[in-house]
Chains A and B, each alone.
Chain A
């Protein structure tokens, strides 16, 4: 028997097999990472029947990896947070760790922490904007985020939403941002005058160091859109934007650490925003 020739034949056979297996593997991985075109087409048709209009190119084909974000309460260490906001010359007025209630004061203002959130009031006298010389929304946003930075909040992790002016004061809501994505559910209400921030109230969390990735991917957006269609009974709807974000349930905001979970954010042209838990597809009210 010619072993040399037999080996050559075996090598060729195995190499051919390897090429074939590599192709199968790549094909499997590629198809698993994408939502099939047919599924998207059928979803769009189904939505159409339910009076919901969406363009196929608005639906991302890519399957997204499921990742949670661990968020740490900005006030987890009350004294340290108070120093950031009120400065080094802060005085502790009330300290009740058992019930988590703290009050701090300094020449800069007063800070009250409790299990329902926090509030800050500046001690300076308010100076409202002159109605005739109000800055634009962009300038006001920039001015206020700089002021937040001065109070110890990292402006890169702050996103301003819902800005409006009333009686010379700007009222706005800030939500945390992680990796350029808003985290819904956590927010603080800000009132600002022409010189800076007058009051802050609400909750604030920052993304912790640990952000654990999961093996699974998020539920396909097509499944979530189907869920939306099944629940939709009202007027015709035109979807303007589909995106992903994170959400922290307000049930758990009185905590030291929470997990923000991935969600799908579906916006319609009438201004409606529909949030869905991207892990299980349930609607978030």
Chain B
């Protein structure tokens, strides 16, 4: 009996030993000097990543889903005659309003809805819709039609590609007629034409949805558009020093925003450890074996390769800069591409990769913030920015010479020339709310600073943002766009 057990044990041990030795030979770097990185990375990409993404729905592996997460409207305004419900990105009810409007837009662009008629209308008609029952969807930035369409219906080219080039906002309006149809108005920012598409749609269902949404937002009921207050055109009897785009929503009372604080990765994870840093370095194709590494006098960790420098500053800023005249990092995976669609595809994929290493749901707080249009001055060169949002309010970062976005990417024909990202999280601190200056007071400050006799300031856009100063404190401030230039207004 004992002999039998011993024999069995010996057999099992010798089989195990064989397995161990074979593994040792296979996975020994000396057996395959090139290493097994290709096997490991393939296994990670095709097996591990899909499983991880199941548990981290904020970060997906394909462009379409990630782009949809990052490209969202700034606000959706539900208009029921004089009553207004404003849903800023991130607020309760926003997602519902967005799903409703995006679903209709998607069906229009994909051809699922029958277009009964199409015509062009003037701007006054476009603006007057906001006095009726309608949904006004404002992205706050221009977007190339191919991307806009891709986001709405998953197709970059549709039957509307001929007439629509650049889209910033649109209106879905209910008619007063008994017909069961709805009008969708889209303004092409390039030509200035406003197109009206009458489509057949279940009007009662949309009406019910609009009523449901307006009831969710009692606080914003009395906001007015600039055109309703005649702030959009010069008056005959007085000198106008400041004018607003007709669709700017005027916040006439002073408002309050929750206090917000930021924390670096180190604050909850002890440190950006070497393993995470090495992962990030690999994403930037910096060879950890051959790079130079030092900590400069400001305590910034600097990693230098032949053609690029990656720096992690003590304030959480991660900065990659390709050497002047150097090729830069190919983030197009060899595909190149010089149009905005390709550039956005590469930028979103790259940001997704970097954010995939960060804990918590960092990625879902991000939103694309810059215009996404072809660069006609320098084809193939794009600067793409993302903001971190806290309850729909973007965070900006005070730097020596301006206000940086949370992520800023510069791409030149599929190659990364620079990348800046603040590796920080922001959340409500629980401290008392902070009073913000009234919008008109901010406008007065702009006039004091910028007005020149006979040249009224034309405000294209104005909204609140949090500004993180160099000491790391976040203060709400108004951010106005005049002549495509941002001005952050300090009290």
- The chain A residues found within 8 Å of chain B, CB to CB, are 4, 7-8, 10-11, 14-15, 17-18, 21-22, 24-25, 28-29, 31-33, 66, 68, 100, 115, 212, 214-216, 249, 251-252, 254-259, 261, 277, 279-280
Contact indicator B290/A280 (Cβ below 8 Å): yes
- The chain B residues found within 8 Å of chain A, CB to CB, are 4, 7-8, 10-11, 14-15, 17-18, 21-22, 24-25, 28-31, 33, 274, 289-290, 292-297, 299, 302, 304
Closest 7 pairs (CB-CB, A-B)? A32-B30, A14-B14, A257-B295, A21-B21, A258-B294, A255-B294, A252-B294
CA distance A199 to B294 in the complex (A): 28
Contact indicator B294/A7 (Cβ below 8 Å): no
Smallest CB–CB gap between A274 and chain B, Å?
19
Contact indicator A259/B294 (Cβ below 8 Å): yes
Contact indicator B299/A256 (Cβ below 8 Å): yes
CA distance A124 to B18 in the complex (A): 74
Contact indicator B289/A249 (Cβ below 8 Å): no
Contact indicator B290/A25 (Cβ below 8 Å): no
Contact indicator B292/A256 (Cβ below 8 Å): no
Given the complex, which residues of A lie within 8 Å of B292, measured CB to CB? 249, 251-252, 259, 261
CA distance A25 to B25 in the complex (A): 6
Q: Which residue of B lies closest to A70 (CB)?
A: B293
Smallest CB–CB gap between B292 and chain A, Å?
6
Known A31-B30, A216-B29; further 9 A-B contacts with Cβ < 8 A: A7-B11, A21-B18, A21-B22, A21-B25, A28-B25, A28-B28, A29-B28, A66-B289, A255-B294
Smallest CB–CB gap between A253 and chain B, Å?
9
CA distance A106 to B429 in the complex (A): 48
With contacts A21-B25, A25-B28, A66-B289 taken as known, whether A11 is within 8 angstroms of B14 at the C-beta atoms is yes
Which one, B21, B31, B33, B294, contacts A22 given CB within 8 A? B21
With contacts A17-B18, A21-B22, A25-B25 taken as known, whether A11 is within 8 angstroms of B11 at the C-beta atoms is yes
Given the complex, which residues of A lie within 8 Å of B15, measured CB to CB? 14
Contact indicator B11/A10 (Cβ below 8 Å): yes
Q: Which residue of A lies closest to B299 (CB)?
A: A256
Smallest CB–CB gap between B380 and chain A, Å?
32
CA distance A29 to B28 in the complex (A): 8
CA distance A249 to B28 in the complex (A): 33
Given the complex, which residues of B lie within 8 Å of A257, measured CB to CB? 294-295
CA distance A33 to B4 in the complex (A): 43
Contact indicator B21/A25 (Cβ below 8 Å): yes
CA distance A257 to B292 in the complex (A): 11
Given the complex, which residues of B lie within 8 Å of A259, measured CB to CB? 292-294
With contacts A115-B297, A256-B296 taken as known, whether A14 is within 8 angstroms of B21 at the C-beta atoms is no
Smallest CB–CB gap between A36 and chain B, Å?
13
CA distance A216 to B288 in the complex (A): 11
With contacts A7-B11, A14-B15, A21-B21 taken as known, whether A254 is within 8 angstroms of B296 at the C-beta atoms is yes
CA distance A33 to B8 in the complex (A): 38
Contact indicator A18/B17 (Cβ below 8 Å): yes
With contacts A21-B25, A214-B289 taken as known, whether A254 is within 8 angstroms of B297 at the C-beta atoms is yes
Given the complex, which residues of B lie within 8 Å of A66, measured CB to CB? 289
Smallest CB–CB gap between B48 and chain A, Å?
21
Q: List 5 A-B contacts (CB under 8 A).
A: A28-B31, A31-B30, A255-B295, A258-B293, A258-B295
CA distance A257 to B295 in the complex (A): 5
With contacts A25-B24, A216-B289 taken as known, whether A4 is within 8 angstroms of B7 at the C-beta atoms is yes
CA distance A8 to B10 in the complex (A): 10
Q: Which residue of B lies closest to A68 (CB)?
A: B293
Contact indicator B299/A15 (Cβ below 8 Å): no
Smallest CB–CB gap between B3 and chain A, Å?
9
Contact indicator B295/A15 (Cβ below 8 Å): no
Contact indicator B30/A255 (Cβ below 8 Å): no
CA distance A259 to B15 in the complex (A): 46
Q: Which residue of A lies closest to B303 (CB)?
A: A259
Smallest CB–CB gap between A21 and chain B, Å?
4
Smallest CB–CB gap between A220 and chain B, Å?
11
Smallest CB–CB gap between A229 and chain B, Å?
22
Smallest CB–CB gap between A115 and chain B, Å?
6
Given the complex, which residues of B lie within 8 Å of A255, measured CB to CB? 294-297, 302
Given the complex, which residues of B lie within 8 Å of A33, measured CB to CB? 30
Given the complex, which residues of A lie within 8 Å of B299, measured CB to CB? 256
Contact indicator A14/B30 (Cβ below 8 Å): no
With contacts A17-B18, A255-B297, A259-B294 taken as known, whether A28 is within 8 angstroms of B7 at the C-beta atoms is no
Q: Which residue of B lies closest to A256 (CB)?
A: B295
Given the complex, which residues of B lie within 8 Å of A68, measured CB to CB? 293
Q: Which residue of B lies closest to A100 (CB)?
A: B297
Q: Which residue of A lies closest to B25 (CB)?
A: A25
Given the complex, which residues of B lie within 8 Å of A14, measured CB to CB? 11, 14-15, 17-18
CA distance A214 to B290 in the complex (A): 11
With contacts A254-B296, A255-B295 taken as known, whether A28 is within 8 angstroms of B11 at the C-beta atoms is no
Smallest CB–CB gap between A72 and chain B, Å?
9
With contacts A15-B14, A212-B274, A215-B29 taken as known, whether A279 is within 8 angstroms of B296 at the C-beta atoms is no
CA distance A68 to B305 in the complex (A): 15
CA distance A17 to B18 in the complex (A): 7
